[in-house]
Amino acid sequence: MEIAMDDRALIIQRDNQTSAVAADLHLGFHIELSETKKVTIPSQIENILQRVLKFQEKYQVNTLYLLGDVKHSILVDNEYNWQNIPDFMEKLTDKIEVKIIPGNHDGNLEALLPRNVELVDVRGMKIGHKPSIGLIHGHAWPSEEILESDILIMGHSHPSIKRIKRVISTKAERDILRYGESIPVILKSKIKKNCIRERMGLDSKTDDENGTLIVLPAFNRLISGISINRTDNRLGGPFFENDCVDIKSTQVYSCNEIYLGTLLELQSRFSEMLK
């Protein structure tokens, strides 16, 4: 099995089959953002469609797994959803098989989906074996079967890092910190499975204590994400909220597979810049 990173998504190649995994499309988010910022921000739906079709053609992807929060509005019944999401899904399924693990924003999503789009259990699904991969959104506990996967892949948390730089102000005669953009990142962590089992009310297993967790950023480029290099920020979801992730040793990668350091190292560098 080979796993590659491309444009905020994972490309998984195994057994002559190629799959893509992406999270958090948040279709319609531009509406909320436009209202908040008081400026007109265009819909991202065509941009998202073209980006998916680009890596579908590049890697000859057979199946696209969407890890939840396909839509942004929690309720289904608004004009944007009805006018855009069914057509978006039809265009996707013309080229690629689509399976969706629903997220916390995906209430009644099935009403917007063509019949050939599979909406699976909110507790996740498993693909492959040796190693097996469990796919979840990340807002809810996985099923016991999914937890036993060798690798878990989730979204929900929208990880990013905040860039800052120090500039010299000639007027103030002192350094000034200037904040830059938020950069989406991919996280690779060790999860403590028995910690999760305890919180879920399950028995511990001595032969399956640890696993690998991969957290994807939001595929929608309008979402700046949670700046994980700030020590005052915390990632969402029960794994992180219940301290079942070895967070300090978490490895951080850019979306083009550049290793940026551990989370602890990035937080230390950021804190040093603030002094």
DSSP codes joined into one string, the chain: -EEEEETTEEEEEETTEEEEEE----BTHHHHHHHHHTS-----HHHHHHHHHHHHHHHT--EEEE-S--BSSSSS-SHHHHHHHHHHHHHHHTTSEEEE---TT-TTGGGGS-TTSEE--TT-EEE-SSS-EEE--SSSPPPHHHHTSSEEEE-SS-EEEEEEEEEEETTTTEEEEEEEEEEEEEEEEEEEHHHHHHHHT----TT--EEEEEEPPPSSTT---EETTSTT----SHHHHTT-B--TT-EEEETTS-EEEEHHHHHHHHHHHH-
Quick: pLDDT tens for 103-127: 999 999 999 999 999 999 999 999 9
Q: What is the mean pLDDT of residues 67-92?
A: 92
pTM of the model: 0.93
Quick: pLDDT tens for 125-160: 999 888 999 999 999 999 999 999 999 999 999 999
